Amino acid sequence: MTRLDLRADAAPAPAFVSAAARFGVIEKPDLAYTPAIARETAHLYEKVKDFIPAIEWAAYAPYVHAINRLKKERNAVILAHNYQTPDIFHCVADIVGDSLQLARDATKVDAEIIVQCGVHFMAETSKLLNPEKTVLIPDAKAGCSLSESITGADVRLLKERYPGVPVVTYVNTSADVKAETDICCTSSNVLAVVESLESDTVLCIPDEYLAMNVARQTNKKILTWKGHCEVHERFTAAELLAYKEANPGIEIIGHPECHPDVIAVCDFAGSTSGMINYVKDKRPQKVLLVTECSMASNIQAEVEGVDFVKPCNLCPHMKRITLPKILDSLLNMTEEVLVDPAIAGRARLAVERMVNLKQ
C-alpha cells in the first residue's frame, strides 16, 4: 500500500524570525549628560519643567535624546496613551490620545515600526490593525485589570447563555476576547456603538461600571460582566463630595470606568481625551480629574490658569513603561507583539467595525 504524505504537499509554515533578527540589534549609546545634549533637549525640558526638577533632567535628557535619534534611524513611531508620564507624553511620543484615537491613528502610521507606550491590549490592537508592521511594547507585562477579568472561553459561554444577543466588547480586552465579539467600543463611543445595533438587548462586557453608565443613557437592556478597572473603582462619591466642600466652585470630571454613583457627582464624564478637551475648552478655574494621576500633569503642561486638585491613583500597568525601557525596546527590537493568526482575523473585524462606525 502506498501511503500518501499529505503534509509533504502542504506549504511549510514560515519559520519565525524575531524582530531582533529582522532589524538587527543596536549597541547601547553612551548616556552621559553633555552640554550638546542639554542644548538639544532644552525645548523639550520647557514642556516638563513643572514636573521634573532641573537637577533630575540630567538623568532624563540622555534617554530622551537617544530615543528621538533612534526613532529616526529605525523608522519607528511612538504611540503613547494619555496616562503615560509627562517625560514620555511630551518628550518622545509622536502620537498621543485615548484608546480610540490611538486605534484610529495606528491605521494611518507610515513608519515600519510602532512602539506602543501603553498597556498590552493597546499594542495588540495596533498589531491587529497593522498586521504587516512590527509592533513593540517596552514591557510586555503591562496588563490591565479589565482585560484580565475575562477570557474568550467566558464569552463563548455568555453567547451560549444569551443566544442571538450581540456582544459589544470594550477595547480593554485581549485579542482572544475580541475574536468572540461582534463589535468593540471604547469609553468615547460606547453609546454610539450600542445604539448602532438593532437588538433591544446588548451584552456590554467586561466593564460592569461602563455598562451601568451606558445603561442610563439608552433604552436598550444592557447585560454585562463583573470586570472593573482597579484604578477607577477606588474613587468614591463620598470622597468627591468632600473635595467639593473643601473647594467651592471646583469642577469634577470623571471617566466612565468609575461607579455610576461617582459619575453622578461629576460635572462631566468622558474618555481620557474627552476629559482633556473639556479642560482645554472650558478652562475651569479649579478642576479635579477622576482618573489616572499622570493625565492631570500632561494637560497641566498645556493649559495655563487652571488649578488642578490631584488625588493620585496610579495605574501600575501604565507605569511599567519608562524611558529606559523604551530605549531598550528600540535598541533590541523587543518585546514584539504578535497575535495568533487563528484569532487575528475575527478580532480585527471587531475592531475595524468600531473604527469604521459613522458617528
Binding residues vs ligand SF4 (CB under 6 A): 119, 144-146, 172, 229-231, 257, 292, 315, 317-318
Q: Which of 187, 213, 294, 298 is close enough to bind ligand 13P by CB under 6 A?
A: 187
Nearer to ligand 13P, 95 or 165 (CB): 95
CA separation for the pair 69, 67 (Å, rounded): 5
Residue window 237-276: x/- pattern of binding to ligand 13P, with contact defined by CB under 6 A: ------------------x-x-------------xx----
| Residue (155 or 289) nearer to ligand 13P, CB | 289
Cβ atoms of residues 39 and 356 within 8 Å:
no
Q: How far is the CB of 292 from ligand SF4 (least distance, A)?
A: 5
- The backbone torsions φ and ψ at residue 177, rounded to the nearest 5 degrees and listed phi first, read -75, -45
The rounded distance, in Å, linking the Cα atoms of 191 and 210 is 10
Rounded to a whole number of angstroms, the CA Rg of the chain reads: 22
Nearest-10 Cα torsion for 298, 300, 301, 303: 130
Question: Considering CB distances under 5 to 8 angstroms, the limit depending on partner class, which of ligand SF4, ligand 13P, none binds residue 181?
Answer: none
Q: Judged by CB under 6 A, does residue 213 bind ligand 13P?
A: no
Handedness of CA 251, 145, 125, 96 (dihedral sign): positive
Distances (CA, A) of 254 to 87, 91, 260, 319, 336: 24, 26, 10, 20, 34
By the rule CB under 6 A, 294 interacts with ligand 13P:
no
In the complex, least distance from residue 82 CB atom to ligand 13P, rounded to whole angstroms: 6
Choose between 144 and 331: whose C-beta lies nearer to ligand 13P.
144
Cell of 123: 499594542
Site pattern 15..54 for ligand 13P (x: CB under 6 A)? ----------------------------------------
CB of 118 to ligand SF4, least distance (A): 8
* Near ligand 13P by CB under 6 A: residue from 82, 145, 174, 294: 82
Return the closest-CA partner of residue 204 out of 237, 173, 235, 236.
173
Best CA proximity match to 42, nearest among 25, 65, 17, 12: 65
Which stretch, 13-21, 96-104, 189-197, 300-308, contacts ligand 13P (CB under 6 A)? 96-104
Is there binding between residue 298 and ligand 13P (CB under 6 A)? Answer: no
Q: Burial level of 181, CB count in 10 A (0-12/13-18/19+)?
A: buried
Residue 136 contacts residue 114 (beta carbons within 8 Å): yes
CB nearer to ligand 13P: pick between 262 and 331: 262
User: Quick check: 99 binds ligand 13P (CB under 6 A)?
Assistant: yes
As measured in angstroms, the least distance from the Cβ of 215 to ligand SF4 is 19
Judged by the rule CB under 6 A, the positions of this chain that interact with ligand 13P are 82, 98-100, 172, 186-187, 229, 255, 257, 271-272
